[in-house]
C-alpha cells in the first residue's frame, strides 16, 4: 500500500491508515487489519525486514502463472540488472576499508558497483528476468548489494520451475553474463540457449565459436535485439513508477523488501489490467 500510494515512509503509511474516512477503512479491511492498526510504525519496519524471501517466491509464482496460462510469449526471456543509489551520503572506499563511518545517515550495508552508463554507484542492485514479446512482465527477481557480479545471480534467477517449461528456447543477456559455466548450465539444465554478445578473436577457443557464429547470424541479432525493447525499458519503468532510485530506505533487508514489492506490484497491476480488458 505504501508503494501503491507513493507514501514516503512507514510513518506516513501509519498516519494514512489512521485517517478517519470511509476509503481508508476499506483499505484497512483489505489489508487484514480489521482488528486493529499497529500502534506504531515500527511494526511496519519490523515486518519490512522479514518479508523478502516470501516476496521473491510470490514473484516467481506469478511469473509461472503468466507463462503456464499462456498470457505471455514464452519462447524468449531476458535477464538484466540495474544499480540503485543508496539513501543518504556515500561511504567512500577509503573510509570503508578503515571501518570508519564519517557521518550519520550512511547506509553501511550498501556497496560500490560499476555501470558502463552511470559509472560508480554506491548502493544496491536489482536482478530481473522478464518476457520479451508483446507483453513485457517480470518473471523472477532478486536484490543484492551493488558489488555482486551479474553472472553470479543467473542461476538463482533461473532456478524457478517456470524455466523448465517446454516453451522456452532462448535467454538473452548483456556481456555481464558471458560465462562458460552459464552457457553450459543453460544448455544442460534448462535446455535453452543463452545468447550474449560474443566477439571473435584469433585466440577464441573452438567451443566458443558456436556462440559467436549464432550471435552474429541474422537470427541471433534478431533475437538479441528484443532486449532493448523489453527488459531495458521495463527496468527503467519500475524504478521510475515506484521511485526506487534513489532508494527510500536504508539497510539491506528493508531495501530488498521495498524493491521486490515494487516488482510484485507491477505484476499485480498487469494482472488487474488483463482482467479489466476481458
Beta bridge partners of 123: 85, 111
Q: Cβ distance 171 to 150 under 8 Å?
A: no
Q: Cβ distance 79 to 173 under 8 Å?
A: yes
Q: Is 119 within a domain? A: no
Q: Is 11 within a domain? A: no
| pLDDT tens-place string over residues 92-117 | 999 999 999 999 999 999 999 999 88
| pLDDT tens-place string over residues 171-188 | 999 999 999 999 999 999
Q: Is 24 within a domain? A: no
| pLDDT tens-place string over residues 132-159 | 999 999 999 999 999 999 999 999 999 9
CATH code for the domain of 182: 3.30.420
Position 205 pLDDT exceeds 80: yes
Q: Is 28 within a domain? A: no
* pLDDT level of residue 228 (50, 70, 90 thresholds): very high
> How many folded domains does the chain comprise?
1
Q: Is 7 within a domain? A: no
What pLDDT score does 94 carry?
Answer: 93
What pLDDT score does 262 carry?
Answer: 93
C-alpha cell at 130: 522478464
What pLDDT score does 118 carry?
Answer: 87
Q: Is 45 within a domain? A: no
Q: Cβ distance 124 to 84 under 8 Å?
A: yes
Q: Please, what is the average pLDDT of the chain?
A: 85
The fraction of the chain above a pLDDT of 70, given in percent, is 80
Q: Is 75 within a domain? A: yes
Query: Among the residues of the chain, which ranges form H helices?
Result: 10-17, 22-30, 42-50, 52-68, 93-98, 150-157, 180-185, 206-216, 218-224, 231-241, 252-277
What pLDDT score does 7 carry?
Answer: 52
Q: Is 20 within a domain? A: no
Q: How crowded is residue 274: how many other Cβ atoms within 10 Å of its Cβ?
A: 14
Q: Which of 78, 114, 125 is nearest to 245 (CA)?
A: 125
Distance separating alpha carbons of residues 217 and 224, to the nearest angstrom: 11
Q: Which of 165, 144, 137, 148 is nearest to 271 (CA)?
A: 137
Range of the domain at 63: 51-87+124-277
Amino acid at each position: 500500500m505504501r508503494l501503491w500510494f507513493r507514501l514516503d515512509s512507514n510513518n506516513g503509511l501509519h498516519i494514512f491508515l489512521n485517517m478517519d474516512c470511509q476509503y481508508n477503512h476499506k483499505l484497512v479491511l483489505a489489508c487484514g487489519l480489521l482488528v486493529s492498526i499497529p500502534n506504531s510504525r515500527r511494526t511496519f519496519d519490523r515486518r519490512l525486514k522479514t518479508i523478502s524471501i516470501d516476496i521473491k517466491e510470490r514473484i516467481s509464482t506469478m511469473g509461472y502463472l503468466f507463462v503456464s496460462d499462456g498470457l505471455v510469449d514464452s519462447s524468449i526471456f531476458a535477464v538484466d540488472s540495474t544499480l540503485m543509489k543508496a539513501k543518504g551520503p556515500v561511504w567512500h572506499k577509503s573510509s570503508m576499508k578503515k571501518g570508519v563511518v564519517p557521518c550519520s545517515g550512511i547506509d553501511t550495508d550498501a556497496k560500490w558497483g560499476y555501470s558502463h552508463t552511470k559509472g560508480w554507484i554506491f548502493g544496491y542492485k536489482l536482478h530481473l528476468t522478464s518476457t520479451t514479446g508483446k507483453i513485457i512482465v517480470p518473471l523472477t527477481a532478486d536484490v543484492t548489494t551493488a558489488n555482486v557480479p551479474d553472472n553470479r545471480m543467473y542461476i538463482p534467477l533461473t532456478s524457478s520451475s517456470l524455466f523448465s517449461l517446454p516453451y522456452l528456447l532462448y535467454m538473452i543477456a548483456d556481456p555481464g553474463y558471458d560465462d562458460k559455466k552459464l552457457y553450459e548450465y543453460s544448455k544442460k539444465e534448462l535446455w535453452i540457449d543463452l545468447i550474449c554478445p560474443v566477439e571473435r578473436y584469433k585466440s577464441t577457443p573452438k567451443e566458443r565459436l558456436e556462440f559467436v557464429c549464432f550471435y552474429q547470424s541474422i537470427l541471433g541479432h534478431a533475437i538479441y535485439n528484443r532486449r532493448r525493447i523489453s527488459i531495458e525499458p521495463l527496468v527503467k519503468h519500475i524504478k521510475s513508477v515506484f521511485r526506487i532510485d534513489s532508494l527510500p530506505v536504508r539497510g539491506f533487508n528493508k531495501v530488498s523488501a521495498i524493491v521486490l514489492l515494487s516488482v510484485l506490484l507491477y505484476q499485480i497491476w498487469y494482472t488487474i489490467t488483463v482482467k479489466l480488458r476481458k
